[in-house]
Every structure is written in structure tokens, then in C-alpha cells.
Structure 1
Amino acid sequence: MIKQFFLICSGVDQDLIKDCSNGEQNKYAGIGATVFFTALMAAIAGSYALYTVFDNVYTAIFFGLIWGLLIFNLDRFIVSTIKKREKKSQEFIQVLPRLLLAMIIAVVISKPLELKIFEKEINQVLLTKKNQMTLDNKTQIAQQFTPEIQNLQSEINGLKEEITQKETETNNLYETYIAEAEGREGTKKIGKGPVYKEKRQKHDASLKELSELKQLNSEKITTKENAIAALIQQQKDTETNTQPIISNFDGLMARIEALNQLPWLPSFFIFLLFLAIETAPIFTKLISHKGEYDYKQENQESQVKSWIQQQVDQRNKIASTDIDLNTKIYEDLKSEEELYAYKQKIATDLMKLQADTFFQNQKNIL
């Protein structure tokens, strides 16, 4: 039963192969087994590749099976259409386009399996990329918020500097009227005279202005600090919202790019393995000698070709004979007086009718 299944996979004519020797059947069963297992590997590879796209097991398996059936049909078609010829050069020319198609299929099958085999190494490459992308993302987001935060901080520093300058001015006025009272500066008289009172009034006025300035600037500073805090929180929220995009950077294309950054030799050997598997049935038929099945198939095709040629030749002769008969018949009719007189009468009646019609039209016009 298994042998019969593999014979079906090889694409041979079941009516021809059942009468062949056991060795001939085993040869084609081996070819069919190669076709089947290649399609099975294609289904597994396709399922894994589609799982990285859809992230759903059932969807990936469903489309993976369809992909495997497609590869199975292509391989079966490639193998079944290779015919043994009298000359090896003819066979080689026949095989060239099929080899090209087999190489394409081998690449398509091997790539998803390479992604699975080197999954850990690919994850490491992707992790490095994600970390770099996270840093770049934070830098780009910071470039959007940093100028505004710096402007607000500069304004806060300016307000604080304004308070500091006013405090320095007020302290200087304080030192001035104290020095006046102690007789160290100004009039050099100890006591609280008119000059002292004048300087004290200036200090008190400055102190009042300082208090008002502190209150006003404190409100402005608080407002600006709240604005800075809001901008910083907005920056953090933006980083948080964009991080899932970076975390999900592990799709099919990203993994293929990561695979290309790994050493090429292991990947190349895996490709060669699948290329050998994919082209094995083709080379098996190419290098094998003409067998019993090939002769029977050639005999069957020859019978059909001969029968078709006979049918075409028969139809051509029938058509040629019919043309010759028609030619002779019409040649004989040329000498028939009765037919000549009949056609002459019809032509005369037709010309009379045309003349009467022309006369009637001219009469109506006049």
C-alpha cells in the first residue's frame, strides 16, 4: 500500500507500471518518496514561516498544508514530464528549465527552516537591534521635547536670577543704612539721623518689592515647572506607547535580515541539502538507463502518434478528393446549354427590373 502511494506520488502511469518488474517499480517508488517528503518539509517550513507572519497556529498550519500541496504538485509535474531520449544532450536540454524551477523551490523551502534552526542566534541579533532601536527612539523623542523643556528651564532660571538680583540689591541697602547708623559710612555719625531714615525707607521699599517679586515669580516658576513635568510625562508616555512597536520587531522580513547577518556557510550547506533533495528525482531519471517503463511509455505514445497521423492523413485525402470532384463538376456545368439559357433569362429580367425602377425614380423627381 505504501509502495502504491509512492508510485502515485511519482506521477507514473499506473496502468503501465503495474505490469513492470519489481525493480522498475521500486525505482519509481523511491522517486515518489522523495517527492512526498520534499513536500512534507515544504509544508513544515511554510507553516513556520507563516506562523511568524500571522502568529496563529491553526492559520499557519492551514496555509502551510496548502503550500506543501503546491510544492508536491510542482515536483510531481517536474518528475513526470521528464522523458528518456535517445541522446543525453536532448535529455539535458529538457531538464535545464526543470532544474531552475527545482533550485527556486529549494530556496523557498530551505529559508524558513534556516530561520527555525538558527532561531536562538537570530533572536540575539534581533535583541541587539531592538536595544539600539529603543535608544534611537528615546533620542528622537527627546529631540521633540528637549528644546521646549530647556526654554522653560531657562525662563525659570531667569525668574530666579531676577529674585537673586533683587535680594542682593535689598541686602546692599540694608548694609548701607546699618553702616550709616553705626557711623562707618555716609555721614560717619553714630545714630539714627535723617540720612539713616532715608536709607531705611529705601531698604524697606526694596524689601517690599522683593516680597512681591518673590510671590509673583514663585507663581510663574510653579506654572513653568508644572509645564516641564507635563512635558516629561508626555515624553515618557510617548516612549511607552512606541515601545510595543519595537518589541514586535520580529516578523519574517526582520528574521531574514537577521539571518543574513550570521555566518553564511552553515546556511549555505542547509540550502545545498535541500537542493540535493529537490533535484534528486530529476538526476535519478537523468542518469538512469532507459527502463521497462520508459519503453512501454514510448510505445504507447508511438501508438497514439501513429493513430493521430493516420486520422490526419485520412482527413486530408478526403478533403483533397472532395475539392477535385467539385472542380470537375463545375467544369462540366460550363457546357450545359439549359443552365446557360436559364441564367440568361434571369439576368435579362433583372436588368429590365432595374431599368423600370430607374425610370420610375426619375419620373418622381420631375
Structure 2
Amino acid sequence: MTRLFFWLSGASDESLAECPSWERRKYVAFGATVLVPSAFAAVAAAYALSTLTDDWRVIAAVSMVWAFIILTVDRALLATYRAYQSFFRKLAQFSLRIVVAALMGLSISHPLALLLFRDTINTSIEKQRDADIAAARKEFDANKKAVEAKIAALDAEVATQRKQWDETFNAKFLVQDALPGAAKPMTAEEAKAKQELDKKIADATAPGREKITTIEKEITSLNEQATKLQGELDFWQKEFERELNGQRSGIIGLGPRAKSIQADQLAWRRDESKRLSGLLESFTTQLNQLRADVASTEQSLTTQAEVAAAEVLRKSQLDQQRLEGLKQQVQQQQADSFVEQQNGIRATLRAQIDAKLEQSKSFAGELMKLQQDEQQRVAAIRAEPRRDILTQTKALHALFENDAEGGRFALIAYAVLTALFMLVDTIPLVVKFFSKPGPYDTLLDQDEVRFDKERLAFLKSYNRYMEGLSEGRLLHLTRNKPLEHALIEGVDRSRAAKEFLEHLLELERAFDERIRRERELVATQDGSKAAMVEEMAQAFYRDMRRRMELFFHEETPSRISA
């Protein structure tokens, strides 16, 4: 178990074996801190995957892979930290670790926060689902109302056209004759004849009517005088009777005052009253006679006019009978045309009604389709699982913004949870950053310094060797790729190979100097000596190649055989 925690902390077992026990316990703790975020990452990944699938095998496999990734990243960051490096390099590494810890903390804490507030998030999601359903129904209601309005308009048009259809059967073609006993309108000739008759009657009765008017005025004046006189007689008659009774003078019987009233007031008024009565009777007799004469004149003229009108009526009836026959013929022709016209109107109305009924049927189908689509849409919204991370994250953010439902507490809890995982993930590096280097750090630094020194020495020797190799012709004359690789990489293989190659390089440089002088000497002589010099050079390089093949064949037979 200890070795497992050593491995998790990125430390070497051999180096820790040389360290004190307290140093080993420290790295066991480091390994445990690496294991904790991985465990939480597995839980978070399992919950996140459970929102996508119910297959526990997929959830378990992916969760373990994710936990291993988190563990590997934490272990790599912890293992690459060096206590003896410069402050700025440590600060840069620590900053990078903080960024990685923040990302890892979010990736781990976010699913756990969703799990922590799952009930509230589900409630928010269901509220949003209800809102989506209400919005969908509102949209479909608006569409259905528009279709229903079109159907209502078509129904109204169909009703109007059906009424017109019914009216075609009640259409009036002929004007009905006047009902028996009904007043027949006066014709123009009759009106003119009546006017002439009225004029004749007025002219014939004008003198009599003037006399009647004069007498009526006289009678009216006499009636006024008689009425006034009768009032005065009544007054003085009462006064006379009071005198006779002694009510005023105290003398009963015909006394002086009674006699005076009788002689001065009553006598002449009684005579005047008799005279006026005679005049009224005479004027009344004259008035009645004049009225009788006027009526007789009117009757005579009216009788003459009626006789003439009867003759005209007889002739008119004959003409009317003749016109009735012609009228019936014309009306029959017009009736046939009218019936044909009404049939055409009915056919047009029927076609229009059928078209509108078909259109109304189409709208009814569209309305039914909208109802079905609404039901399917609502069913689809209800069937949506809405368990994915994005939907739950949106609901969680909505919860953060809604302080009335504990949004501030949820936000604080989310931040605390994220900070907690960041702290857990950075504890090993924080402890290393702020603590004094331990024995393991010292041993590790010694190994790295030793390796760097050896590497630097090797690079210097290798560069010197490559410069010498590039200056000679040894590399160009091998003509064997595996041998060239062995020649180039030989210095990195073993000390014997390095010494062998350095010996060959010295021989090649000495021979090259000697052969150069020989070529200068034979340049002025015959060609046979120059050929001997070239043959000697080729024999030298063949011998060197043979030596290299034999040496490297023993060192790397697989490379030479390739």
C-alpha cells in the first residue's frame, strides 16, 4: 500500500528508501491527496453520465477512465515539481498548477453541485417544462383561432349564399293585381277630369258661395249682438225682480225704481231682441236656400261627369282586355327567360357554396391537424428527459439568479465546493511550494545535477568527434547505411567503440596526409605511378571498412545485418 502511495505522489521507491521515515510519511500523504480528487472525479463523472445513459457498464468504464486521467494529471504535476529550481520557475509551475486545479475543480465540483441541488434543479426544470407547454399551447391557440375565424367567415358566406339560393325560389317576376276591394290608384286622365269637374263646380257655385259667405258674416254679427243684448236683459231682469221683491229699495211691488228699470232698461232691449231674432231667422232661411241651390248645382255637374266617365271607363275596359291578352303573351316569354336566369343563378350559387364548403372542410382538417400537432408537441415536451448537463446547468444558473428560492446560498455553496476541490487538488504543491526542501528533494536534485553534468560532458565529446568525422573521408566511403548509423552513433554506445573510432580517425588523417604528398610527387611523372597511388588509397579504405564491419558486427549484429 505504501508503494502505491509513493507511486501516486510521483516519487521513486529507491530514493525514498534512503530517506527518513517522516519523509516517507509525507509522500504517502501526498499520494493520498492525489487519490482523493480522483475518487471525487469518478463520482462526478458517474453522476454526469447517469444523465445521459442508464447503462452501468458505460458509466463505470468512463468514470474510471476520467478518474485515471485526473489522477495522471495530478501525479504528473506533482512529480515534475522541483524544490531547488529558481523562484520564478516554481512560481510559473505553481501558477500553471492553479489553472489546472481550477479547471479540474470545476469539472469535479460542477456535477457534484448538480447532484447536491438535484431536487431544486428538477423543480426548476419542471417549471420551465410547464412554461414551455403553456407557450406551445398559446402558440397553437393563436393558430387555431385564426383558422376558426376563417371557418366562421366561410360559414357566414355560405349562410348568405344559401339565403340567396332560397330567395331564388321566391323571386317575384309579375306585379300582382290589386286585391278585390282595394282602392285602385287614380290615373292621370281621371285626375285631370276630376280637376276639370272641381273647376266647373267652383265656377258654377261661386256666386252662391259668395252670398253664403256674406250671410254667414251677417248672422255671426247678429249672433254677437243678440248674445250681448241677452246678457244685458238677464242682468236688468234680475235687478227688476229684486226691486219688486223689495230687496234693494225696501218697497215691495212696482215702485218708482222698478218702473224706471222697466221703462228705461227692459222695454227697448226686449224690442231690440225681437228685431234681432227676426233678422236671424230671415238670414238663416236665405242661407239654407243658397246651400240647397249650391248642392243642386254640384249634383247636376257631378252626374254629368259620371256619365262621361262611365263611357270612358267602358272604352278603357275594352282596351284593358286587349292589353291583358298581349300582356300574358309577353309575360310568358319573360317568365321562361326568368326561369332560365334563376336556374343559372342557382347553379352559380351551388358551385360557390360547394367550393366554400370544401374550403371549410380543408380548414377543419387543418384545425384538427393543429390539435394533433399540439398534443404531439405537448407530449414530446412532457417526454423530454431534460437530465442532460446543459439543461441542469441552465436551471442551476437560474437558481443562482433567483434569490427568493435560495439562489444566493446555492451560489455560495457552489463557490465553496469549487474552492474546496481546488484546495484539495493543490494541497501537495502548496505544501511543497511553501515548505523547506526535504531529503528526497535533495537526493533528486543530486541525481539531476549529476545527469546534467554527464550530459554536458558527453555533448562536448560528441561534438568534437563529429567535427573530426566530418573533416575526413571515412564517413563518405562506408556506403552502408547501418554502418553509417553505427559510425555516427558509436560514440554514444560504448567506450571501446569510441576509442576504436578515434583510432581510425587518426589513421585516416595520417594516411590522407601521406597520400596527398605522394600524389604531388607523381603528378609530374608517368601515369603508372599515379595509378599505383590510387590503388593503394582504395586498398587502405577497403581495409578500414573491413575493420569497421568486423568491429560493429560484433557490437551490433542486428544493425549490420539490417
**TM-score normalized by the length of structure 2:** 0.49
CA contact (8 A) 2:48 2:389 kept: yes
Q: 1:242 aligns with which of 370, 377, 388?
A: 377
> Structure 1 pair 288/147, CA: closer, same or farther in 2 (3 Å)?
same
Alignment correspondent of 1:202 = none
Please say if 1:253 is aligned against 2:390: yes
Structure 1 residue aligned with 2:462: 315
Counterpart position of 1:60: 59
Equivalent runs, 1:194-213 vs 2, <5 Å: none
Identity of aligned pairs, percent?
19
The range that moved more, 12-21 or 215-224, is 215-224
- Residues 143/345 of structure 1: CA separation in 2 closer, same or farther (3 Å cut): farther
Identify the residue that residue 432 of structure 2 maps to in structure 1. Answer: 285
Q: Distance in 1 between matches of 2:32 and 2:161?
A: 89
What residue number does 2:105 align with? 106
2:51 alignment partner, SS class: helix
| 1:302 equivalent in structure 2 | 449
**Which has the larger displacement, 141-150 or 118-127?**
141-150
* Displacement of 1:331: 4.1
CA shift for structure 1 position 9: 1.2
Q: Given residue 49 of structure 2, which amino acid in structure 1 is its aligned partner?
A: L
Deviation of 1:21 (Å): 1.5
**8 Å contact 1:109–1:274 — kept in the other structure?**
yes
**CA displacement at 1:169 relative to structure 2:** 10
Partners of 1:306 and 1:182 in 2: CA distance: 145
SS where residue 44 of structure 1 aligns?
helix
CA distance in 1, matches of 2:395, 2:522: 93
CA drift at 1:225:
6.8
The answer for unaligned runs of 5 or more in structure 2 is: 185-338, 401-410, 472-504, 532-562
The 1:109–1:244 alpha-carbon spacing in structure 2 relative to 1, beyond 3 Å, is: farther
Matched, 1:345 2:527: yes
Superposed displacement of residue 18, structure 1:
2.4
Q: Which residue of 1 aligns with 2:150?
A: 151
2:45 corresponding residue in structure 1 = 46
- The 5 A counterparts of 1:167-182 are none
Equivalent residue of 2:517, what SS? coil
The residue that corresponds to 1:137 in the other structure is 136
In the comparison of the two structures, how many residue pairs are matched? 327
Q: CA deviation at 1:35?
A: 0.8
Structure 1 340/94 Cα, relative in aligned 2: closer, same or farther at 3 Å? farther
Q: Which secondary structure does the structure 2 equivalent of 1:97 belong to?
A: helix
- Offset, 1:220: 8.3
1:144 CA displacement: 4.9
Q: Could you report, residue by residue, the CA deviation over 1:310-347 in whole angstroms, capped at 9, with x for unpaired residues?
A: 43344345556776945565444443268634997289
Measured after TM superposition, the shift of residue 84 of structure 1 is 0.5
Whichever residue aligns with residue 398 of structure 2, its letter is Q
Comparing 222-231 with 10-19, greater Cα deviation is found at 222-231
CA distance in 2, matches of 1:76, 1:124: 40
Whole-angstrom CA distance in 2 between matches of 1:338 and 1:226? 116
Deviates further, 108-117 or 156-165: 156-165
Cα drift, residue 81 of structure 1: 0.6
Give the superposition deviation at 1:50.
1.9
Amino acid in the other structure paired with 2:439: E
Q: 1:182 to 1:118 in 2, by over 3 A?
A: farther
Residue 6 of structure 1 and its aligned partner are, at CA, apart by 1.8
Q: What is the letter of the counterpart of residue 284 of structure 1?
A: V
1:19: how far off?
Answer: 2.6
- Superposed CA deviations along residues 48-72 of structure 1, whole A, max 9, x for unmatched, are 1122123433322221111111111
Return the TM-score normalized by structure 1: 0.73
Q: Distance in 2 between matches of 1:343 and 1:296?
A: 71
The answer to whether the 8 A contact 2:125-2:395 is kept is yes
Amino acid at match of 1:261: A
CA-to-partner distance for each residue in 1:134-181, whole Å, 9 max, x for gaps?
Answer: 1222333445554344322211122234456778999999xxx9xx99
Matched residue of 1:262: which SS? helix
Alpha-carbon distance in 1 for matches of 2:421, 2:49: 19
2:518 to 312, 315, 336: 336
AA in 1 matched with 2:421: F
340-349 or 153-162: bigger deviation: 340-349
Query: Which one-letter code corresponds to 1:237 in the other structure?
Result: Q
93-102 or 331-340: bigger deviation: 331-340
Aligned equivalents of 1:337 and 1:34: distance in 2?
76
Does the 8 Å contact 2:11/2:79 carry over to 1?
Answer: yes
Q: Which runs of 5+ in 1 are unaligned?
A: 188-204, 350-366
State the one-letter code of the partner of 1:107: L
**For the residues of structure 2 that align with 1:139 and 1:343, how far apart are their CA atoms?**
114
Q: Is the 8 A contact 2:19 2:439 kept in 1?
A: yes
Shift of 1:348: 10
The question of whether the paired residues in 2 share the 8 Å contact of 1:126 and 1:250 is answered with no
Q: 1:226–1:304: structure 2 CA closer, same or farther, 3 Å change rule?
A: same
Match of 2:368 among 214, 224, 233: 233
Distance 2:443 2:52 in 1: 48
**Aligned position for 1:77:** 76
Match of 1:275 among 413, 422, 439: 422
